[in-house]
């Protein structure tokens, strides 16, 4: 996406949420309004923002299989233990992590950076070499693709919330069935499903562990001393 053309308000003209608000107000929604579709332009904003997530050497291994037709959402629902929200939300995204972006997309990615002036042609050539060497050494390609794709999934949900669209990430699905039904090849990890739409509920915040339970200071196991008990 063209980052000089960021959304300046929600689709309905009301103010965008700040990043902390969007992060804090996002809840995993169970009930979506099936009669309220996401306008094409709004979906495009959300996906465009998701692509701005970081990835190693800007290889962008994230892929978004956008399922919108009722028929296909019902097929997807059958691959996701029948979860009602897959049939109800107007958009469900199958988030995929591609194993080999350095083999197929890196030259185009680097050419773009050279065109935008962020690197010279010579540096671009050396980046292609370094990135390819680094990514060739990856031993677990499914894990690498997943690790490199989930930041885009999180970015997508924060962007959606900021723009007034609710979401629900899901890991309850059968990858083999999705591969069969939607033609996803083995060189793409199936990382998550994300339902998008307008909520028909307002779930409360379920809480989080205190920082003292999830942070360590300087060494694993050493308690966090930054002012929280």
CB of 33 to a copy of itself, least distance (A): 21
Binding mask 141-180 for a copy of itself (x = CB under 8 A): -xx--xxx-xxxxxx-xxx-xxx-----x-xx--------
Within residues 37-76, the interface with a copy of itself by CB under 8 A covers 40-41, 43-45, 47-49, 51-54, 56, 58, 60, 62-69, 72
Cα separation, 93 vs 70, whole angstroms: 13
Our finding on whether 13 is near a copy of itself (CB under 8 A) is no
User: Alpha-carbon torsion 20, 24, 30, 33, what sign?
Assistant: negative
CB of 35 to a copy of itself, least distance (A): 20
Residue from the set 70, 134, 136, 201 that interacts with a copy of itself by CB under 8 A? 134
Closer to a copy of itself by Cβ: residue 36 or 52 = 52
- Residue found by looking up tokens 């562990």 in the block: 209
Our finding on whether 228 is near a copy of itself (CB under 8 A) is yes
In sequence order, the β-bridge partners of residue 92 are 67, 195
Our finding on whether 132 is near a copy of itself (CB under 8 A) is no
Output the six-digit token pair for 196: 């998008």
Closer to a copy of itself by Cβ: residue 33 or 187 = 187
Is residue 8 helix, strand or coil?
A: coil
In a 13 Å sphere around the CA of 31, the CA atoms on its Cβ side amount to: 4
CB of 79 to a copy of itself, least distance (A): 13
CB of 89 to a copy of itself, least distance (A): 15
Within residues 18-37, the interface with a copy of itself by CB under 8 A covers 18-26, 28
Is residue 92 helix, strand or coil?
A: strand
Cα separation, 143 vs 116, whole angstroms: 31
Residue from the set 165, 184, 193, 199 that interacts with a copy of itself by CB under 8 A? 184
Output the six-digit token pair for 91: 């958009």
Within residues 98-127, the interface with a copy of itself by CB under 8 A covers 105, 108-109, 112-113, 115-119
User: Alpha-carbon torsion 8, 14, 15, 20, what sign?
Assistant: negative
Burial class (CB in 10 A: 0-12, 13-18, 19+), 175: middle
Closer to a copy of itself by Cβ: residue 136 or 217 = 217
Cα separation, 210 vs 207, whole angstroms: 9
Within residues 76-95, the interface with a copy of itself by CB under 8 A covers none
């Amino acid at each position: 996406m063209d980052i000089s053309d960021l959304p300046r308000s929600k689709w309905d003209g009301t103010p965008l949420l700040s990043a902390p608000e969007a992060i804090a107000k996002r809840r995993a929604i169970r009930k979506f309004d099936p009669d309220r579709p996401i306008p094409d332009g709004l979906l495009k904003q959300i996906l465009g923002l998701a692509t701005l997530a970081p990835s190693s050497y800007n290889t962008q291994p994230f892929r978004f299989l956008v399922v919108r037709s009722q028929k296909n959402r019902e097929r997807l629902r059958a691959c996701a233990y029948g979860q009602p929200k897959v049939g109800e939300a107007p958009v469900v995204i199958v988030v995929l992590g591609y194993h080999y972006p350095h083999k197929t997309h890196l030259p185009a990615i680097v050419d773009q950076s050279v065109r935008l002036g962020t690197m010279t042609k010579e540096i671009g050539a050396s980046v292609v070499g370094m990135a390819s060497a680094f990514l060739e050494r990856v031993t677990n390609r499914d894990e690498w693709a997943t690790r490199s794709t989930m930041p885009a999934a999180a970015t997508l949900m924060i962007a959606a919330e900021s723009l007034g669209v609710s979401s629900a990430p899901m890991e309850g699905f059968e990858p083999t069935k999705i591969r069969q039904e939607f033609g996803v090849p083995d060189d793409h990890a199936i990382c998550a499903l994300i339902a998008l739409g307008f909520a028909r509920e307002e779930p409360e915040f379920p809480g989080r562990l205190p920082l003292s339970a999830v942070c360590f200071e300087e060494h694993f196991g050493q308690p966090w001393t930054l002012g929280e008990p």
